Amino acid sequence: MKKSTLAILLAAATLALPACNKKKGDQFAGVDGDFVTSTPLGERFEGDSNFFSDSVAKGQFSPVYFGYDSYAVSPAEASKVQQVVTALKDTPSNRLIVAGFTDERGTQEYNRGLGERRAQAVRQALIDAGIAADRIQTVSFGSEMPADPASNEQAWALNRRAEFGIVKN
């Protein structure tokens, strides 16, 4: 997907975010009306380590990393979530997108589900810390956009993550 097409898709996602809170179990509706575990919003820009458009603050927060086949936010990663909490409390009009990612192992369907569970676990940690649920949107990209495209333990560890994007009003 070209950078301009992705920018348009993500701009639409940003504008549609307030309308994207229809619930279906623990999943939330994505921009196209499908639930976020069904279709990713786009692809990584070449040379860019983040999937967010220019309307979303990117690279502001460190990714939260997960163990193999896990969606539990470890105590070692909790301080990263707390940094996001602080930023959101300082700017109550901003909203957040949490994107879940996996390594390449597993089927596409399984990885999308695991990516969604990771994003939801981080979302729940934010809610538990006092952030309103309607300010947080989740999306899963599964293994679609690896932080490191290599196929080894070091790369897989970097790819098992959740990333944050602040949607500025």
**CATH assignment of the domain containing 125:** 3.30.1330.60
Q: What is the mean pLDDT of residues 133-162?
A: 97
- Comparison of pLDDT for 144 and 29, the residue scoring more: 144
pLDDT at 55: 46
C-alpha to C-alpha distance for 72 and 53, rounded to whole angstroms:
28
Domain count, the chain: 1
Mean pLDDT computed over 19-23? 36
So what's the pLDDT on residue 88? Answer: 95
**pLDDT above 70 for 89:** yes
Top mean-pLDDT range of 20-24, 54-58, 59-63, 132-136? 132-136
Domain that holds residue 141: 3-167
pLDDT category of residue 56 using cuts at 50, 70 and 90: low
- Categorize the per-residue pLDDT at 159 as very low, low, confident or very high, splitting at 50, 70 and 90: very high
- pLDDT interval class at 169 (50, 70, 90): confident
Concatenate the DSSP letters of all residues of the chain into one string. Answer: --HHHHHHHHHHHHHHGGG---EETTEEB-TTSSBTTS-----PPTT-S----TTEE-SSSPPEE--TT-----GGGHHHHHHHHHHHHH-TT-EEEEEEE--S-S-HHHHHHHHHHHHHHHHHHHHHTT--GGGEEEEEEETSS-SS---SHHHHHHHSEEEEEEE--
What is the predicted pLDDT for the residue at 23? 35
